[in-house]
Structure 1
Amino acid sequence: MKSLSSKEGFLHRFVGFSESFPDQIAIKYLDAEEQTVTYRQLRNMAQGCNGVLKALDVVPGDNVALVLPNSVAFIAYYLAIIGRGAVPVILNHKLTPFEMSNVIGLAGPTLVVTTAALAVQHSELFHPDSGIRHTLVLEVGDEPAAALPAHATAVAQVPHEAEPLMLPEDNPVVSVQFTYRGLGKPLAVAHRYLDLTQSSDGLHEQFHLQGVGSVHLVTLPLYAIFGLSVMMVFPLSIGATLLMTNTLLNRDLAEVLSEHQVSFACLVPDVIRYFNTRLAKRKGALLPMHPKLMVYSGGSHLPADEAEKLGKLLGCNAVLQGYGLTESMPVIVQSSIGQVHRGAMGRAISGVDLRVVDAEGRDVARGRIGELLIRGSMVIDGYLDADDANARFWRDGWFHTGDLVWQNEDGHVFFYCQRLRISKIKAQMVDLTEIESIALKHPGVTRAKAYIVPDNKEVNVLHLCVEGSADLTQNAIATLLSRYLSGFKLPRTIEIIALKEVAHAS
């Protein structure tokens, strides 16, 4: 893995801001009666969390799983794990026990940091028999008290003292996350300290100047690399304020942006469509926004008309596209300073090279469609313990994304479609092979085919066709799928028919 020439990454910068701007607000949490946390307080909280980790015998190099919703506690423990020299394994807290067992088995954490409800839900997995020495239970939000499993420990029961954060040296792993590539199984991705910092720096080159006093709206899940890097690492490394909420859909977006003078916000396409519908019904004059408010879209492709519509309804510039992968962190973004190209995802940030190639690996001419290949210091060298996948997707130093795109004469990249058997539903990765493999667990199913069809609003909709015995029912298949898979992976329609070999868009 290539590294930066500078040895000071985002934790160095965060600690620096906690000393030079100690009273600057680091986090404003709207869901807890507008709880505010200064940079000094956040550093003190992280040092307290580090003391807890020390008391539980966490040592440098240990894998520590974070299974938490977006919260102040998530951020404090993430900083503490890095400041302990351990490795954060960041997991989607909404996974089913089946899905969780797959990623826990790959990650091999010695400690899990989670909530009481999740400790109970996954009690058979978060257990010493799985190699997990401790399950640390935090008080997060308004979660009701629950009887903890015998092997779980409430944080209040751990005697500890605050422990200073150890600043990373060189370029250690500071995040392990998971993705899918159409192989029917999760793949582990490790991100490194200076590379994650460089990715954030490259993004900043495309933005209006952000820093102390700027306010960033945080709504994307921090367990995903896009949320982690753009919504947490980036603002904390420049002294900005994170305006956090998990209840944005219950709020008036215009009021939130105006009241708190948000300067940067990133939303997923489905949320943008939702607020376009709501804001179109809003009465009265436009509310005053930050004069340089930038709204970005990430997670999946956003049609240009939806991007322009939100800008008009808010009284700001059109929403700008961004593009990234778990394997690469945000890679290309639409410049907010230069000329805007309608519908473009953007150009490569500093430190990233890209190519658009045909099926034989030859570069195509501008305006022609081909597969996007990328390389750079923030692009990982390969998946952990997955030689077959690495041989398939990394060749001659280039990562093959599976995305078909085209470039205009100015080098701006436009999305065409996804070539692999993966897609995004509600900005969450869906592996079609995984869904089919679960359907085939039913004894009456002999074949299964999952596919994506965009609806009339260009929103991806998941469908499943199965072939099986005469007594097979849609309810039986739906019940089976819901037992194993998260809600966003469940198909909208299930057809029980004799399958034909028909190519479907995915």
Structure 2
Amino acid sequence: MKSLSYKEGFLHRFVGFSESFPEQVAIRHLDADDDTLTYRELRIKAEASNGALTALGVLPGDKVALVLPNGVAFIAYYLAIIGRGAIPVILNCKLTPFEMNSVVSLARPALVVTTQALWVQHSEVFQPDNGVRHALVLDGGSEPSSPLPANATATSQLPRQLEPLLLPEGNPIVSVQFTYRGIGRPLAVSHRYLDLTQSSDGLHEHFHLQGVGSVHLVTLPLYAIFGLSVMMVFPLSVGATLLMTNTLLNRDLAEVLSEHQVTFACLVPDVIRYFNTRLAKRKGARLPLHPQLMIYSGGSHLPADEAEKLGTLLGCNPVLQGYGLTESMPVLVQSSIGPVHRGAMGQPINGVELRVVDAQGQDVAPGRIGELLIRGSMVIDGYNDAEDTNARFFRDGWFHSGDLVWRDDDGHVFFFCQRLRISKIKAQMVDLVEIESIALKHPDVVRARAYIVPDHKEVNVLHLCVEGTGELTQNALSTLLARDLSGFKLPKTIEIIPLKEEAHAR
């Protein structure tokens, strides 16, 4: 059992802020008409969501899947599920039905909370065969456009009642999410209440002090651990305001940061490159930003020149980096209150130990490249129901990340490359084996190999090479891949190599 130094977690703190600072703005949603929600109002929303769960018979220990976009509903239901003693299963709402089936069949949630559009898209997946007894369909207070089947209920059909949030005792599971490790299938990861709180607190030790009055720009998807911990758990733990938008790319970043005096923002590298291009064409004087604005990059590696460019264009400090995995939560971060180490991912937060080892498992000297090993209370003990995979990645108390890194003399960690057959495309995890397995479904494909080649801007580009027989075409392969896989997993180029002899296919 891991030793824990915390007795109260983030839900305790959120409830405390709702009582001591009830009128403090918790959420300001730039895309919604009713654009603000105070801490008191957010707690009421969570209690109303808990009332809906009560009406549907959700019990402590039940798994409840959240299949929702970023927004108030996601946050309210997440808090409600924890405040009920149930277990949130957090799923990417942008998955295809094929991908959704692969994770739901593993998680087997008793209830799914989703929107009407997503229910229609995935209704065949959200069924008893996958353990789903019922679906709660959020309808915004209006009647569904078509009648729902017996195993689905619209929120408008439920009695409106508030159910108080019960504060967790001990260190229960408060998140089940999925990741990939280059074995062609998703792996379930469970995070616990106090560990998630400790991870966000560890980050804060490296940041300018945040609290009531701070404004955090929420741009990362909350279904990912980086978004969940840094963009939701952290600000709600300190009484900050979540400034939410799903349309940032259609907005002027400088205006958003200036108008709302944002103190903390986290962007993925592709978004930083996008705004570097737009801001370079922006005319007029620089807008006044918060003097302690911190901008961080997460999701994948950001080249140092891109980090410095955004700071120069905005007139603020360079973008700093952090590092984490679904298995570990954020564990490395550059300090905003100390000297910047150009290009570094940072140093370990409080409670994290790391090693950099060679192929024989021996620690390497500073400046030498090796695999990053991590341990700490926020690192999981293993994947759910995956003994063979656990034996590969969890050894002697250390998690083997698969990332090759090096450290400088001050202990800052720098990314070199990923040695597993996984990569990030648009900050989303891509398992190359999964892509190959889909291509091999085509009857004329004999062998398939997916690979990554960075372009001239160090952006990862996915390519696929297949050997095939008969009249195999790129169009046929593209159609097959697009049917099952999300857009970011589709290769930019497909190369087909015809087999010269049918004997090769045997």
Same fold (TM over 0.5): yes
Q: CA deviation at 1:130?
A: 2.7
1:19 counterpart letter in structure 2: E
Counterpart of 1:502 in structure 2 is: none
The one-character-per-residue Cα deviations of 1:68-99 (angstroms, maximum 9, x if unpaired) are 00010000000000000000000000111111
Matched, 1:395 2:385: no
Matched position secondary structure for 2:308:
helix
Distance 1:233 1:323, change over 3 A: same
**Paired residues of 2:143 and 2:156 also in contact (CA < 8 A):** no
Distance 1:444 1:251, change over 3 A: same
Distance 1:408 1:223, change over 3 A: same
Matched, 1:233 2:233: yes
2:254 counterpart letter in structure 1: A
Matched position secondary structure for 1:80:
helix
The one-character-per-residue Cα deviations of 1:165-196 (angstroms, maximum 9, x if unpaired) are 00000000000000000000000000000000
1:96-107 matched pairs, under 5 angstroms: 96-107=96-107
The one-character-per-residue Cα deviations of 1:28-70 (angstroms, maximum 9, x if unpaired) are 0000036100000000110111111011000000000000000
Q: CA deviation at 1:139?
A: 3.0
Q: CA deviation at 1:5?
A: 2.4
Counterpart of 1:337 in structure 2 is: 337
What runs of 5+ residues in structure 2 fail to find an aligned partner?
500-506
2:240 counterpart letter in structure 1: A
Distance 2:465 2:203 in 1: 41
Matched, 1:293 2:293: yes
2:469 counterpart letter in structure 1: S
Distance 1:147 1:236 in 2: 37
Distance 1:102 1:257, change over 3 A: same
Q: CA deviation at 1:144?
A: 9.1
Matched position secondary structure for 1:47:
helix
Distance 1:83 1:437 in 2: 40
**Paired residues of 1:123 and 1:149 also in contact (CA < 8 A):** no
Distance 2:34 2:347 in 1: 37
2:217 counterpart letter in structure 1: L
Distance 2:380 2:153 in 1: 35
**Paired residues of 2:29 and 2:244 also in contact (CA < 8 A):** yes
1:246-257 matched pairs, under 5 angstroms: 246-257=246-257
1:299 counterpart letter in structure 2: G
Identity rate, percent: 81
Distance 2:228 2:498 in 1: 44
Counterpart of 1:322 in structure 2 is: 322
Distance 1:239 1:250, change over 3 A: same
Counterpart of 2:404 in structure 1 is: 404
Q: CA deviation at 1:143?
A: 12
What runs of 5+ residues in structure 1 fail to find an aligned partner?
500-506
**Paired residues of 2:28 and 2:36 also in contact (CA < 8 A):** yes
**Paired residues of 2:141 and 2:155 also in contact (CA < 8 A):** no
Distance 1:237 1:91 in 2: 23
Q: CA deviation at 1:413?
A: 0.3
Moved more, 230-239 or 134-143: 134-143
Distance 1:353 1:274, change over 3 A: same
Counterpart of 1:258 in structure 2 is: 258
Distance 2:286 2:141 in 1: 33
Counterpart of 2:221 in structure 1 is: 221
**Paired residues of 1:215 and 1:260 also in contact (CA < 8 A):** yes
Distance 2:481 2:150 in 1: 30
Distance 1:142 1:248 in 2: 28
Counterpart of 1:13 in structure 2 is: 13
1:72-221 matched pairs, under 5 angstroms: 72-139=72-139, 145=145, 147-221=147-221
Distance 2:166 2:497 in 1: 59
Counterpart of 2:463 in structure 1 is: 463
TM-score (normalised: structure 1): 0.97
1:71 counterpart letter in structure 2: G
**Paired residues of 2:405 and 2:417 also in contact (CA < 8 A):** yes
Distance 1:363 1:304 in 2: 27
Counterpart of 1:504 in structure 2 is: none
**Paired residues of 1:64 and 1:87 also in contact (CA < 8 A):** yes
Q: CA deviation at 1:339?
A: 1.3
Distance 1:403 1:136, change over 3 A: same
Matched position secondary structure for 1:237:
helix
**Paired residues of 1:55 and 1:160 also in contact (CA < 8 A):** no
Counterpart of 2:503 in structure 1 is: none
Matched, 1:376 2:376: yes
TM-score (normalised: structure 2): 0.97
Alpha-carbon RMSD across the aligned residues, in angstroms, is: 1.4
Counterpart of 2:451 in structure 1 is: 451
**Paired residues of 1:52 and 1:160 also in contact (CA < 8 A):** yes
Counterpart of 1:484 in structure 2 is: 484
Distance 1:21 1:89, change over 3 A: same
The one-character-per-residue Cα deviations of 1:205-239 (angstroms, maximum 9, x if unpaired) are 01000000000000100000000000000000000
Distance 1:405 1:193 in 2: 29
Distance 2:34 2:248 in 1: 14
Matched position secondary structure for 1:226:
helix
Distance 1:369 1:270 in 2: 26
The one-character-per-residue Cα deviations of 1:356-404 (angstroms, maximum 9, x if unpaired) are 0000000000000000000000000000000011000001000000000
Moved more, 283-292 or 29-38: 29-38
Distance 1:144 1:306, change over 3 A: farther
Distance 1:184 1:142 in 2: 41
Distance 1:375 1:136, change over 3 A: same
Matched position secondary structure for 1:243:
strand
Q: CA deviation at 1:3?
A: 4.6
**Paired residues of 2:65 and 2:89 also in contact (CA < 8 A):** yes
Distance 1:77 1:302 in 2: 33
Distance 1:239 1:412 in 2: 30
The one-character-per-residue Cα deviations of 1:243-286 (angstroms, maximum 9, x if unpaired) are 00000000000000000000000000000000000000000000
Distance 1:191 1:142 in 2: 35
Distance 1:337 1:498 in 2: 58
Distance 2:76 2:314 in 1: 33
1:394 counterpart letter in structure 2: F
**Paired residues of 2:144 and 2:154 also in contact (CA < 8 A):** no
1:13 counterpart letter in structure 2: R
Counterpart of 1:242 in structure 2 is: 242
Distance 1:76 1:138 in 2: 12
Distance 1:426 1:259, change over 3 A: same
Distance 2:410 2:65 in 1: 43
**Paired residues of 1:368 and 1:406 also in contact (CA < 8 A):** yes
Distance 1:415 1:22, change over 3 A: same
Matched position secondary structure for 2:53:
helix
**Paired residues of 2:469 and 2:498 also in contact (CA < 8 A):** no
Distance 2:135 2:447 in 1: 40
Q: CA deviation at 1:6?
A: 2.3
Distance 2:452 2:214 in 1: 39
1:324 counterpart letter in structure 2: G
Distance 1:359 1:48 in 2: 53
